Amino acid sequence: MAESDGLLRAEAIEAYEAIPSLDAHGELTRAILAEVALLTRKYRCVRRHDVPHIAELTGLLDVLWQEVQMVEAEAVERVS
């Protein structure tokens, strides 16, 4: 599980590096976002532990990724 966490963490950090607006906030912001992404992924489907802040974090991350995907789609359109 630790190996998969490391891989997931690296993938999350790589994905956050693609967001130019985070450049002003440095690597620490990306590291925090990656850890939050891992935490919410682990608890996303857990029902027996009702953790309301995880649901809120999950929703916020989903919105962030929607925005990232929209920006990427716009960039691809401009290039095409």
Query: Domain locations in the chain?
Result: 2-79
CB atoms closer than 10 angstroms to residue 72:
12
| Alpha carbon distance 51, 57 (integer Å) | 10
Torsion (CA) 56, 10, 12, 76 in degrees, nearest 10 = 180
pTM, two decimal places = 0.51
Which is more confidently placed, 2 or 72? Answer: 72
Residue 51 pLDDT exceeds 70: no
Which is more confidently placed, 54 or 35? Answer: 35
11-29 residue pLDDT tens? 887 887 777 777 766 777 7
Predicted local distance difference test score (pLDDT) of residue 50: 64
Predicted local distance difference test score (pLDDT) of residue 71: 76
Predicted local distance difference test score (pLDDT) of residue 3: 59
